[in-house]
A and B are shown apart, each in its own frame.
Chain A
Amino acid sequence: MDVIDRPLYELARLLESGEVSAEELAVEFLSRIDKVDGIVGAFVTVDREGTLSGARMADKARRAGEAPSHLAGIPIAVKDNMCTRGIETTCSSKMLRGFVPPYDAHVVERVKAAGMLVIGKTNLDEFAMGSSTENSALRVTRNPWNLQRVPGGSSGGSAAAVAASEAPAALGSDTGGSVRVPASYCGIVGMKPTYGLVSRYGVVAYASSLDQVGPLAANVRDCAIMLRVIAGHDPRDSMSIDAEIPDYEAQLGRDIAGKVIGLPKEYFAEGIEPGVRDAVLEAAKQLSKLGVEVEEVSLPTVEYALAAYYIIASSEASSNLARFDGVRYGHRAEGAVDSVSMFMKTRAEGFGPEVKRRIMMGTYSLSAGYYDAYYKKASQVRSTLKSDFDRVFERCDALLTPTAPTTAFPIGERIDDPMSMYMSDVCTVTANLAGIPGISLPCGWQDGLPIGMQLLGKRFSEATLLQLAYAYEQAAGYPSRKAPVTKDRGCCSCH
């Protein structure tokens, strides 16, 4: 097996034992990027020099017995809505092209503190708004399993980079499913942590009451390792919770017999492809063979969650994105005679259609006369949804659902129909609204495309979700599956 196809935990071992140097690793991943990223399109920026010099420093530190952690020298990919000091951070928007942040996001600081290297910045739907990465103003990202299909979104570049072995793991952000949906479409593992577990300092805000940063990795163990790297209190995010961070990796492999998993019937209703539904129900059977009690449950408000989500997310986006006015950073329209027309032209030129659509929708739902009918109503429905979850979690340790209603869809299929694109997130938005953690992992195949299943848990139950996911993964035999990046099935131009 090539070193680039090995799991992250294995790379850490090889580095610690001296079998591989960080520099060799960096060279291997950079040449993989050279080889396939022209086709996959996962990255918008690759930091070749920084990665190589960081790798040499990691090697030196390790030889001196001063490596900051056992992960030192491992490269990872970072979604391009997280600030990286000295490295362009675009949000895949014309608005921020050329923006070089003067500081690192908290999660980037954490990654660097562990001695890990940011190999590059990955493509996303502009400002993380979308479910396919087609809303990027910079480039097209393709699903490594089938290049005519989307990778999912909005963290599509991060998911594609991992699936195509361009990085062993990546960071994404998840406001309504933006880590879990692309993980599902690309056949990897992705987690949205509990709201407040990971600081958003330095992550460009989309919808502040929903946004969380989460890891994408090739297997559950790697996901657990990356979560521990980024989780933890940070006073610079006022929603950051001061909680003890367990060693998630050390807790994998615990017996899951006796755990109770609920199958919420609303997630298996109309609109879920039969192949997806069957694969998830098959996974439930597999879990019950491992001693888990599986029972049907009901969360009646789920039916209204997507509607509440789009109002809340758009409303918060309209407020957060008001900062992009051309004054302090980013694009500024030329030739405006007064400030208001400069704002209006700057935003007309800088934002793409989906970003404008959500700002418009949010501005409308917050405007005088409509606030009660939309934003307040949606927030009340959010309360009801949270109570639904609280009730089922009195009995259940976790819930099992599909991650998305379908597998990866063809590029171009939904881009002109906003509502059909929004439906891609119908199974994932609930976790963001309720503030609970969710993990997506592969559970089957349909026509050569991966199917993802989602485990949801109560707040701060990441360790339990990872244990369940790990037990399933080990039993089902899906560790470290990587995509071949094939132009057509059977033919591979890049190996």
Chain B
Amino acid sequence: MELTPDDVKRVAELARIELTEDETRAFVKDLNDILRYVNRLQQVDTEGVEPAYHVVPLENVMRVDCVTPSLPVDEALDGTTGRSGDYFKVPRILDVD
């Protein structure tokens, strides 16, 4: 099963990365090379094996539910190039009309 340029464009849309035509062509080749290599995983018999999503004997670490100091507003907004008052400013999200 080979990835096509259309598959790569669909993945780029999901990943929110605008690709040039050259990049699309390069990724078709690179991703197919990588997939051919990783397909060796299909040779491993994993019938009934629990997937290990992490390897630490911990689950659901909770903290006490109380208010602690957090970043001051000015410091939190210091890294953005789009500030409006105490908010992050972004281009419109919804089409009007």
Cβ-closest chain A residue relative to B12: A360
Cβ-closest chain B residue relative to A354: B30
Contacts of A330 in B (CB 8 A): 79
Return B17 CB to nearest CB of chain A, in Å: 5
Cβ-closest chain B residue relative to A356: B17
Determine whether the beta carbon of B56 is less than 8 Å from that of A359. Answer: no
Determine whether the beta carbon of A235 is less than 8 Å from that of B76. Answer: no
Cβ-closest chain A residue relative to B63: A235
Complex Cα distance, B75 from A373, in Å, reads 43
The 8 Å CB contact of A377, one of B12, B42, B91, is B42
Contacts of B78 in A (CB 8 A): 100, 102
Return A236 CB to nearest CB of chain B, in Å: 9
Interface SS of chain A: helix
Complex Cα distance, B50 from A251, in Å, reads 38
Q: 8 Å CB contacts to B: which residues of A125-175?
A: none
Cβ-closest chain A residue relative to B75: A102
Contacts of A341 in B (CB 8 A): 18, 91
Return A128 CB to nearest CB of chain B, in Å: 18
> For the complex, is B93 an interface residue (Cβ under 8 Å from A)?
yes
Given A209-B54, A359-B17, A380-B46: A342 and B90 within 8 A (CB)? yes
Complex Cα distance, B11 from A364, in Å, reads 6
Contacts of A422 in B (CB 8 A): 34, 37
Interface residue stretch chosen among A35-43, A290-298, A304-312, A437-445: A304-312
Interface residue stretch chosen among A14-22, A60-68, A112-120, A381-389: A381-389
Return A452 CB to nearest CB of chain B, in Å: 24
Return A213 CB to nearest CB of chain B, in Å: 16
Return A288 CB to nearest CB of chain B, in Å: 31
> For the complex, is A259 an interface residue (Cβ under 8 Å from B)?
no
Contacts of A363 in B (CB 8 A): 11, 14-15
Cβ-closest chain A residue relative to B38: A307
> For the complex, is A494 an interface residue (Cβ under 8 Å from B)?
no
Which range holds the interface residue count of chain B? 35 or more
Determine whether the beta carbon of B34 is less than 8 Å from that of A378. Answer: no
Q: Type the 1/0 row for A319-361, where 1 means its CB is closer than 8 Å to any CB of B.
A: 0001001111110100011111111110110010100110111
Of the candidates A99, A339, A360, A373, the one having the most CB atoms from chain B within 10 angstroms of its own CB is A360
Determine whether the beta carbon of B41 is less than 8 Å from that of A347. Answer: no
Contacts of B31 in A (CB 8 A): 357, 360-361, 364
Determine whether the beta carbon of A344 is less than 8 Å from that of B16. Answer: yes
Contacts of A304 in B (CB 8 A): 40-41, 43-44
Cβ-closest chain A residue relative to B7: A364
Given A239-B56, A338-B91, A384-B46: A332 and B16 within 8 A (CB)? no
Contacts of A311 in B (CB 8 A): 38, 41
Return A260 CB to nearest CB of chain B, in Å: 23
Determine whether the beta carbon of B16 is less than 8 Å from that of A325. Answer: yes
Q: Type the 1/0 row for B4-28, where 1 means its CB is closer than 8 Å to any CB of A.
A: 0001100110111111000100110
Determine whether the beta carbon of B93 is less than 8 Å from that of A338. Answer: yes
Determine whether the beta carbon of B51 is less than 8 Å from that of A196. Answer: no
Contacts of B27 in A (CB 8 A): 356-357, 360
> For the complex, is B80 an interface residue (Cβ under 8 Å from A)?
yes
> For the complex, is A435 an interface residue (Cβ under 8 Å from B)?
yes
Return A60 CB to nearest CB of chain B, in Å: 29
Cβ-closest chain B residue relative to A351: B17
Contacts of B67 in A (CB 8 A): none
Complex Cα distance, B80 from A332, in Å, reads 8
Determine whether the beta carbon of B55 is less than 8 Å from that of A434. Answer: yes
Given A360-B31, A367-B14: A386 and B38 within 8 A (CB)? no
> For the complex, is B49 an interface residue (Cβ under 8 Å from A)?
yes
Return B80 CB to nearest CB of chain A, in Å: 6
Complex Cα distance, B59 from A238, in Å, reads 9
> For the complex, is B52 an interface residue (Cβ under 8 Å from A)?
yes
The 8 Å CB contact of A103, one of B16, B71, B80, B93, is B71
Determine whether the beta carbon of A332 is less than 8 Å from that of B51. Answer: no
> For the complex, is B61 an interface residue (Cβ under 8 Å from A)?
yes
Given A241-B56, A386-B55: A338 and B23 within 8 A (CB)? no
Complex Cα distance, B11 from A353, in Å, reads 15
Given A99-B79, A380-B46, A418-B34: A435 and B55 within 8 A (CB)? yes
> For the complex, is B33 an interface residue (Cβ under 8 Å from A)?
yes
Q: 8 Å CB contacts to A: which residues of B52-66?
A: 52-56, 58, 61, 63
Return B92 CB to nearest CB of chain A, in Å: 6
B: which residues have CB within 8 A of A? 3, 7-8, 11-12, 14-19, 23, 26-27, 30-31, 33-34, 37-44, 46, 49-56, 58, 61, 63, 71, 75-76, 78-82, 88, 90-93
Q: List 7 A-B contacts (CB under 8 A).
A: A100-B78, A102-B78, A353-B23, A377-B44, A377-B46, A380-B49, A419-B33
